[in-house]
Amino acid sequence: MSQDTHSVKPWGGRFSEATDAFVERFTASVEFDQRLYHHDINGSIAHATMLAAVGVLTDDEKSTIIDGLNAIREDIAAGKFNWSVSLEDVHMNVEAELTNRIGITGKKLHTGRSRNDQVATDIRLYLRDEIDAIGQELTRLQQGLVTLADNNADTIMPGFTHLQTAQPVTFGHHLLAWNEMLERDYQRLMDCRKRVNQSPLGAAALAGTTYPIDRELTAKLLGFEAPTRNSLDSVSDRDFAIEFCSFAALVMTHLSRASEELVLWTSAQFNFIDLPDRFCTGSSIMPQKKNPDVPELVRGKTGRVNGHLISLLTLMKSQPLAYNKDNQEDKEPLFDAIDTVKDCLRAFADMIPAISPVKESMYESAKRGFSTATDLADYLVRKGIPFRDSHEVVGKSVAYGIEQKKDLSEMSLEELKQFSDVIEEDVFEVLTLEGSVAARDHIGGTAPNQVKAAAAKAKALIEAR
């Protein structure tokens, strides 16, 4: 006699008819949550070990369960496991296969837990590992960035505000600004990890369990810092996923800002840097094109990660305690945010060290746009002229330069003195690009020696992780 579909489900005893075929597909998550299998099995091994320690399972039952789970893990890794939509999710697929292999002992594994605390545990274990992997890629990117900055501590380029030439800076100084953003991102990621690293296992469905479980033991076995403190919150909390996606959105925003500059700098209009061919593509119709596809794509992927953050915030905003089926929708946004951030960081970590600055173009561009005008104003202040008056004097000299098509450094002393008689020969020391960047000789400034010192500090901070 054949068995009804509903009767093979682990929760089918209460139901009198099989699940509708469409509903079965609609409610199943196994197509995307099967990536949790490794962590699901680790959680089950820890749970079985604890159940044996408190006398709920015998040592033989524990060993049989653990051997069966490890065999299933090997089959999944080898692509020899048949996933079933009718079993809904990764947890039931693994448990059903375990029971199929070892018999009734497999049915004892779920004693004292629920899929609610099981999935919460799996996601935290998975995310913790992914955070560590992302942290490594972020570190690798920062190492490449800081090295490139150190090598270009005296490479002069224009600094911009409003995308207009403002003051000369060094390429190294500009790159270290990117590193500051990424350093904050790294600190946020590690701070997020602390809150991820709490064990909900043992909270069961929502109220805990009547079995004499040892939550401290399972937390220790799984490398968690401690068990979570409230069973209701344990199974329904997704703050940690939202917090990660908040980090993800911010680091992607920073990568997007850097991408925008890379795209500009590789253009013929700027010609500040050259990207190796392996990070670019060509045009199907224009043979001369070399398109910076990697930074463009990173810039574009920022939108999807921002969307995942909003998705999770919206998912959680109206949920009553405790667990709700809504929470099945947490995984796809989280998984895609993880994958996207990791791939983008890897692309950047590979690409940044390979950047070749076109120093001559940077230097020539810095000479245009009167980038040393502020230096002239500061010079006049040191000569005793109030800043607002010196601002006006320099403004007039710039207007003259525009009319004569001359940069301030290209004007003669006589031309400059027509705007203020306090200007002397020493003015040319501050009107050169080298003099301008060297004058900003303080912590956070663009003077080459300060850039070298900042790069050394950044490198030491990264190496201390």
Residue 169 has φ and ψ, to the nearest 5°, of -135, -175
Amino acid occupying residue 370 = F
Neighbouring CB atoms inside 10 A of 29's CB total 19
Which DSSP helix (H) or strand (E) runs through 166? strand 164-170
Three-state DSSP class for residue 71: helix
Give the integer Cα–Cα distance in Å for 301 and 186. Answer: 20
Per annotation, catalytic residue among 16, 86, 256, 283: 283
Three-state DSSP class for residue 359: helix
**Total residues belonging to the chain:** 465
CB proximity list for 175: less than 8 A, separation 6 or greater: 145, 146, 148, 149, 152
Q: Which two tokens stand for residue 281?
A: 């593509």
Give the integer Cα–Cα distance in Å for 366 and 371. Answer: 6
Nearest residue to 166 via CA among 448, 374, 24:
374
Give the integer Cα–Cα distance in Å for 66 and 75. Answer: 14
Which DSSP letter does residue 152 get? Answer: T
- Active site annotation includes 162: yes
Which residue in this structure is represented by tokens 């270290």?
Answer: 176
Strand partners, 199: 227
Question: Cis link prior to 248 (omega < 30° from 0)?
Answer: no
Give the integer Cα–Cα distance in Å for 251 and 156. Answer: 27
CA distances for 35 relative to 41, 77, 122, 335, angstroms: 11, 10, 10, 9
Q: Does residue 315 come out as left (phi exceeding 0), alpha (psi in the -120 to 50 range) or beta?
A: alpha
Per annotation, catalytic residue among 6, 38, 84, 162: 162
Nearest residue to 169 via CA among 350, 369, 331:
369
Which segments within 171-262 are labelled E, that is strand? 198-199, 226-227
- Active site annotation includes 39: no
Q: What are the catalytic residues?
A: 162, 283
